Amino acid sequence: MRIKRLQLSNLRSIQSLAFDASADINIIHGQNGSGKTSILEGLHFLSVARSFRTHQSRYVISEGQQQLTCFAKIEGESDAGGLGVERTQQGDVRARFRGEEIDLTALAGLVPMQVIDSESFTLLDGSPSVRRQFIDWGGFHHSAGFISVWRGFQRALKQRNSLLKRGSIDRSLREVWDREFILHAERLTELRSAYVDALLPHFTGIAEQLVREVVTDLRFSPGWDRDQDLQTLLNESFERDMRQGFTSLGPQRADLKFRVGSRSAAEHLSRGQKKLVVSALKLAQGQLYEATRGHSCIYLIDDLPAELDKEHLATFCSFLKQSNSQSFVTCVEPSSMLEVWGATTDGALLNVDSGQLTAKQTFGEIYE
C-alpha cells in the first residue's frame, strides 16, 4: 500500500498542505518547529485516527478550529481510492474509504504504518504495556481471529477484576469467569507466542545488518509459568488478588525480554544502539507483515539521523532503499541521507516552513 497524494488541514500549525508523494522515499526537512513531524502525524491519522504524539485530540487540532481533516489517495494491488479521516475537538472520528464510511478496525487494516521516533525507545526501557501493544499490533495483522480473541480476553479480565474488587465473590460466578479468563488467556498467548516466533528470524536478520556489533536476545514472556496449570495458579493467588483488587497472573502481564549476553539491553546499550535495535524491531514487523499479507506497510521515521553516526545512518538508509516499502522521513539537514540514496532512488525532498510546503524536488531533479 502506498500514499499517492496527501492533503492535511487544521493540524497543529498546518492550515492547509498538499503534495504528491514519491512511491519509495520522502524526505521532509525543515527547522525545529516547522511542522515536519505534524505531517507524519497526519499520515498516522490515516491508519489509526489518532496521533502518535498525544492522546489529546484538542492539542492536535489547529487553534480556533473545530476539526482536523486528513485525506489521501492510496494505491495497492487490491485497494485503491480516496481515504479520509476527520477528528473533532470532542474526539468524534469519521473515516471514509471510496466514499463509504468505515470503522476503525477496517481503517487499521487498510493502511498499516510503523512509527520510529524518540518515543520508540520505550520498546526497550518503557513499561511492559508498550511491548504488549507492539506484539498485539503484529498479532492483529498476522492472525485473522486475533482481534476477537483479544477482545474476549479483555472482557473476561475486566469482569474478573470487577469481582475481585467486591470483597466477596459467589463461588459459581467466580468459576464462570475463571473459565472465560483461562479460555481466552490460553488462546491469546498462543497467538502472541506464534507471532513472536514468526517475527524473530526477521528481527535477527535485520539486527545483524543494522547493529552488527551487538547480539540481542529476544524472548517472549507470557505472564505466567506455562509449565503449570493456569487454574491452579489462579487458585493459589486468589487471596492475594482479592487484597489487591486485580488479577496478578495472565496475558495482561506478558512482556518481551531483550538481553545482550546476561544483561538487560536497556541497561547495556548506548542511545544509538537502542535506536538501531528498536528500528530493527519495527522494520522486522513491517517485513513480516509484507511476507504474510503480500503488500508492504508504510514507515514514518521522525528525525532519522538523530543518535546515529555516519556509518549506521548509511546502513539504515540502504535498508530502506532495498525494502519494498514507502517511507516518510523527517530531518533538519538531509544531505547525509541524499548521499546514500542518490539519483537512482525514487524519492522526493520536501521543505517545510511554518506549516507550509515551500519547495519540492525529486531526487532526480536534485542530481541533474
**What pLDDT does 101 receive?**
96
pLDDT digits (tens, 9 = 90+) for 224-279: 999 999 999 999 999 999 999 999 999 999 999 998 877 788 888 888 999 999 99
**What pLDDT does 15 receive?**
97
Question: Which grid cell is 75?
Answer: 494505491
Place of cell 497467538: 191
Q: Is the predicted pLDDT of residue 214 greater than 80, yes or no?
A: no
Which range (48-57, 210-219, 227-236, 305-314) has the least confidence? 210-219
Give me the helices (H) in 56-103, please: 57-60
**What pLDDT does 40 receive?**
98
- Counts of helices then strands in the chain (DSSP H, E): 14, 15
Q: Which residues contact 3 (CB under 8 A, 6 or more apart)?
A: 21, 43, 46, 72, 73, 74, 111, 298, 326
**Average pLDDT for residues 190-212, to the nearest whole number?**
94
**What pLDDT does 77 receive?**
65
**Average pLDDT for residues 15-32, to the nearest whole number?**
96
- φ, ψ of residue 349 to 5 degrees: the values are -115, 120
Q: Where are the domains of the chain?
A: 1-112+301-368, 117-296
pLDDT digits (tens, 9 = 90+) for 135-193: 999 999 999 999 999 999 999 999 999 999 987 788 888 899 999 999 999 999 999 99
Question: Which grid cell is 336?
Answer: 547525509
Q: Residue 249 has what DSSP assignment?
A: S
pLDDT digits (tens, 9 = 90+) for 277-297: 999 999 999 999 999 998 899
Question: Which grid cell is 241?
Answer: 488478588
pLDDT digits (tens, 9 = 90+) for 58-94: 889 999 999 999 999 998 766 789 999 999 999 899 9
**What pLDDT does 261 receive?**
76
**What pLDDT does 278 receive?**
94
**What pLDDT does 78 receive?**
66
Architecture of domain 1-112+301-368: 3-Layer(aba) Sandwich (3.40)
Secondary structure of residue 113 in the 3-state scheme = strand
- φ, ψ of residue 168 to 5 degrees: the values are -140, 135
Sign for the CA dihedral angle at 334, 337, 341, 346 comes to negative
Q: Which has more confidence, 44 or 168?
A: 44
CATH T-level fold of 117-296: Glutathione S-transferase Yfyf (Class Pi); Chain A, domain 2 (1.20.1050)
pLDDT over 70 percentage in the chain:
99
Q: Which has more confidence, 368 or 243?
A: 243
pTM: 0.94
- Secondary-structure breakdown of the chain: helix, strand, coil percentages, each rounded to the nearest 5: 50, 25, 30
